[in-house]
Amino acid sequence: MAVDPRQVLAGFLTISMFAMLGNMIKRDHFDSIEVSIQETSVVQFDALKAEEKSVTQVSTESSPELKPCWAKPVPKIEQSKGFITFSLTGGPEHHISQVTDAVVIARYLGAILVIPDIRGNEVGQRRNFEDMYDADNFTARLTGVIEVVRELPAEVTTENPAVIRVPNRVSEDFIKNNIQPVFRTKSYLRLATFFPSINLKASGKPNTDLDSTACLAMFGSLVMKQEILEVVDRMVERLRTLSRNTGSQFIAIDIRVDVLEKKSCREKSNGRKPCYTAVEIRDFLRKVGFNADNTIYLTETWWHESLNPFKEVFPKTYTKDDLIPAEKKGHFLQSGGAELQRALDFQICSKSDVFVPAISGLFYGNVAGKRITWGRTQILVPSQVPSSSPTASNFISPYVSKKNHVAYSCFC
């Protein structure tokens, strides 16, 4: 017999946070572990042990939207000196981290930040910042914090910058010891952020100038351009309409066949998994109470035959190709448009009733951060589920249940 989500969802919010934390302590979820990207390119999943409990789903009600805990950094009064350049690479989940590091470094050095371009995965693929983001908002939000310019002065473009590799979530000590000495002798730097590990853990409330700068850069500087947001709104409205017709939840699942094909999702000796297949996610969703009425968005651009077993159980499952307005397909789904496609994924996963990451990593972490600030804390971490029926609350992301995401350092 199918379980009506409306009959079972309300119970989740009545569970106290302390009870939930008690359940979560029994497991060590993948987002609380720092792992070298060279090993898996993602933070590892844990195979969780669920207790035998009655089936419930996550409540559709949102938590209150959080407010910034940081004060805008005190305006710099001295003249900015030197220039910092960098490029955005990967998807929006990488852009957030790259911008944050560049802004923090520019603030510490008193340097002028040049608005970055966007580089694709293939040599020669390049977009302007304005192709994805609101440049005016970016400049306005950082006014008084750092000086931002759209391009280098002509006299500087003839020089070669000093290239510096910067670890994600760069520390003040790293800037002081590794970047500042170079900047003093060569006041034109090009930064390249790398990710030795994915760490989005909270570090306490912002208590330094650089902490506040990082919060502002991470959560307040990047806004998608209006065209992208309008397409997202139309796609989300279609998904919500389908959900309202059956009174069900709209679930977004980050699952990409191309990524799964390149990695093994087999459980390792330590009980952890780096990813989950479509069949495993299907079984997980059924075990925690979702059913054929639920509307599901997959972060696939086109349908893949490996997803057929999933759709047999969840027939209301859609990809970008199913949902994007016809007149926008040429622009967003064209070859070389991976950054735009991930922009759609990022926004839709941030706005869904429930978010389920089938692949751990930076996308999951930064989507979780956006959802936390918006009060959309319904994030389920998948697991190999025992034959008994667990409650969905057992699988709430520790980013939420333990409040250990950096978003909780910047918002309250």
Q: Tell me the longest C-alpha to C-alpha distance in the chain.
A: 72
User: For residue 18, with 0-12 CB atoms within 10 Å meaning exposed, 13-18 middle and 19 or more buried, which class applies?
Assistant: exposed
Lowest mean pLDDT among 51-65, 114-128, 209-223: 51-65
pLDDT of residue 275 exceeding 70, the answer is yes
pLDDT of the residue at 270: 55
Query: If we measure between CA atoms, which residue out of 347, 356, 351 comes closest to residue 275?
Result: 356
pLDDT of the residue at 155: 92
pLDDT of the residue at 172: 94
pLDDT of the residue at 15: 39
pLDDT of the residue at 101: 97
Please, are residues 113 and 76 in contact by the beta-carbon 8 Å criterion? no
pLDDT of the residue at 61: 56
CA distances in angstroms from 357 to 33, 35, 278, 386, listed in the order given: 15, 17, 11, 19
pLDDT of the residue at 264: 73
pLDDT of the residue at 59: 56
Beta pairing, strands 272-273 & 45-46 = antiparallel
pLDDT of the residue at 282: 95
pLDDT of the residue at 406: 95
pLDDT of the residue at 25: 34
What span, in angstroms and rounded, lies between the C-alpha atoms of 399 and 408? 9
Residues 126-139, mean pLDDT to the nearest whole number: 96
pLDDT of the residue at 137: 96
Give the other-Cβ count within 10 Å of 300's Cβ. 24
The secondary structure element, H or E, covering residue 298 is strand 295-298
pLDDT of residue 257 exceeding 60, the answer is yes
pLDDT of the residue at 9: 43
- More confident: 245 or 47: 245
Give the other-Cβ count within 10 Å of 155's Cβ. 7
Structure tokens at 164: 């510096």
pLDDT of the residue at 145: 94
Mean per-residue pLDDT over the chain, rounded: 84
- More confident: 199 or 46: 199
Token pair 């933070």: residue: 43
Residues 241-256, mean pLDDT to the nearest whole number: 93
Residues 310-337, mean pLDDT to the nearest whole number: 92
pLDDT of the residue at 237: 97
User: For residue 312, with 0-12 CB atoms within 10 Å meaning exposed, 13-18 middle and 19 or more buried, which class applies?
Assistant: exposed
pLDDT of the residue at 271: 56
% of the chain beyond a pLDDT of 70: 82
Q: Place 19 in a pLDDT band, splitting at 50, 70 and 90.
A: very low
* b/e code 249-274 from CB counts within 10 Å (16+ = b): bbbbbbbbbebbeeeeeeeeeeebbb
pLDDT of the residue at 204: 72
Structure tokens at 401: 């249940």
DSSP secondary structure code for residue 168 in this structure: S
353-367 pLDDT, tens digit each: 999 999 989 999 999
pLDDT of residue 173 exceeding 90, the answer is yes
Structure tokens at 111: 């340097």
Give the other-Cβ count within 10 Å of 23's Cβ. 20
pLDDT of residue 263 exceeding 90, the answer is no
| Helix then strand then coil, % of the chain, to nearest 5 | 45, 15, 40
pLDDT of the residue at 255: 95
- More confident: 59 or 147: 147
- Angle at which helices 362-374 and 338-351 cross, to 10°: 40
Lowest mean pLDDT among 74-78, 126-130, 240-244, 403-407: 74-78
Amino acid (one-letter) located at 367: V
Query: If we measure between CA atoms, which residue out of 235, 219, 278, 233 comes closest to residue 254?
Result: 278
Rounded to the nearest 10°, the torsion over CA 89, 91, 92, 93 is -100
70-125 pLDDT, tens digit each: 888 888 767 788 999 999 999 999 999 999 999 999 999 999 999 999 998 777 78
What span, in angstroms and rounded, lies between the C-alpha atoms of 263 and 40? 8
